[in-house]
Amino acid sequence: MSLNNQASAGGILPRLALAAALVVAISACGKDEAAAPAGDAAAGPAAEQTVETAPDAAVQVAAQADALAGLGADELRERGRAAYAESRLYAPPGDNALEYYLALREKSPGDAAVASALTDLMPMLVIATEQARDREDFDEAGRLAALVARADANHPALSRLQDTIAGASDAAQRRVAQQALSAEQEAERQRLLAAERERAQAEQQRQAAAQLVEQQQVAEREAAERADAERVAAEQRAAEQRAAEQRQAATPAPAAAAPTLRPLSTPAPSYPTDALRAGQSGEVQVEFTVAPDGSISDARVVRADPPRVFDRAAVAAVRRWRFEPIAEPVTTRRTIAFNPGG
């Protein structure tokens, strides 16, 4: 079962309207932790606090993974579904769908549903990492990058994310040193940063959840359309089979010679513009079936000289031909000549 199916199973459709509010409420529980670096900034150099990029982000992610490792597979799966349904895709730390599925993957390495869920979440995790980096929230960017590394150590975006986060952090350090922010200014910046983080995460996850639901709905519509088309085709084949059996039962005598085809209308084909301009001539042999009502079906090119120059025009013309009604379908061939001077 893919992440989209899990989302449907978790009842995400009726809960989307509450998704943003739920994420903000959950994020508020961690507001004291988010505010802690700002408080520490008042006691130390402003430059160091501004660009702190959480060098222990991997340790923090590993600690959260250890905490989740004590949960059983069923509980992890249920928590993952609930977090997804509530738009907690990758935040808050330790209580989001991504970390639950990562913990579940360690318990069930071959679980295809878990692999599919992580595949669906990875693009959103990468985007969230870039957005945290761009708003200079290096603590959050480091945590998210560590989650990318844990989910897929060979992810093609991982090296770029780590390099750009480090580069942005260095640039911020230089800027902060130049501006010589005071401890009070840095504390205020951290407070605003935490508030922006909560707002951005709530909006990003709400949009991501809505996008996944839309993808699921499109997939369901396409599946329904395919099922309807297959049902109609099966009914048509069954009807044709019954008709063939009835015809065979009604006419058990040996097959008679093919009836004579008497054309009612055989309009000439349209001459391809490029061939006419080039003065090019040729011919096309077309095989087609005349239905009992005299209409044409299954027209196809058998031979063409030159190839692919007059094919489409010849087939289009034959499909417009009409013959007198006959007792049963007849398949025949006709050669259509193209002469620019004719």
Question: How far is residue 12 from each of residues 9, 53, 127, measured CA to CA in Å?
Answer: 8, 34, 22
Query: pLDDT of 238-268, one tens digit each?
Result: 999 988 888 877 765 555 566 889 999 999 9
- DSSP one-letter code for 290: E
pLDDT the model gives residue 251: 61
pLDDT the model gives residue 245: 87
- CA 122, distance to chain mean position in Å, is 13
Query: pLDDT of 92-136, one tens digit each?
Result: 999 999 999 999 999 999 999 999 999 999 999 999 999 999 999
Give the whole-number percent of the chain exceeding pLDDT 90: 68
pLDDT the model gives residue 14: 33
- Mean pLDDT taken over the chain: 83
The domain over range 263-338 is classified in CATH as 3.30.2420.10? yes
Query: pLDDT of 153-168, one tens digit each?
Result: 999 999 999 999 999 9
Tokens, residue 301? 């090119």
Question: Does 19 have pLDDT greater than 90?
Answer: no
10 Å CB burial of residue 260 (0-12, 13-18, 19+) is exposed
Query: pLDDT of 140-152, one tens digit each?
Result: 999 999 999 999 9
For residue 289, the SS3 value is: strand
> What average pLDDT does range 179-194 have in this prediction?
86
In angstroms, the CA 303 to CA 253 distance is: 35
Q: What is the pTM (predicted TM-score) of this model?
A: 0.45
End-to-end CA separation in angstroms for the chain:
64
Question: Does 208 have pLDDT greater than 50?
Answer: yes
Give which of 131, 150, 142 is closest to 207, Cα–Cα. Answer: 131
pLDDT the model gives residue 256: 57
- DSSP one-letter code for 256: P
Question: Does 24 have pLDDT greater than 50?
Answer: no
Query: pLDDT of 34-47, one tens digit each?
Result: 333 333 333 333 33
Give the domain ranges of the chain. Answer: 3-225, 263-338
Question: How far is residue 4 from each of residues 8, 217, 246, 267, 327, measured CA to CA in Å?
Answer: 6, 9, 48, 54, 54
pLDDT the model gives residue 328: 95
Give 152-155's long-range contacts (Cβ < 8 A, gap of 24+).
152/122, 155/122, 155/126
In angstroms, the CA 205 to CA 211 distance is: 10
In angstroms, the CA 87 to CA 222 distance is: 25
Amino acid type, 12: I
Query: pLDDT of 268-323, one tens digit each?
Result: 999 999 999 999 999 999 999 999 999 999 999 999 999 999 999 999 999 999 99
Residue 207, H or E segment: helix 183-250
- Phi–psi pair at 30, nearest 5 degrees: -100, 15
Residues 6+ apart with CB under 8 A from 282: 275, 304, 305, 306, 309, 310, 337, 338
Quickly state the pLDDT bin for 27 (edges 50, 70, 90).
Answer: very low
In angstroms, the CA 78 to CA 81 distance is: 5
Question: Does 232 have pLDDT greater than 70?
Answer: yes
Query: pLDDT of 213-225, one tens digit each?
Result: 999 899 999 999 9
Amino acid type, 4: N
pLDDT the model gives residue 3: 40
pLDDT the model gives residue 341: 80
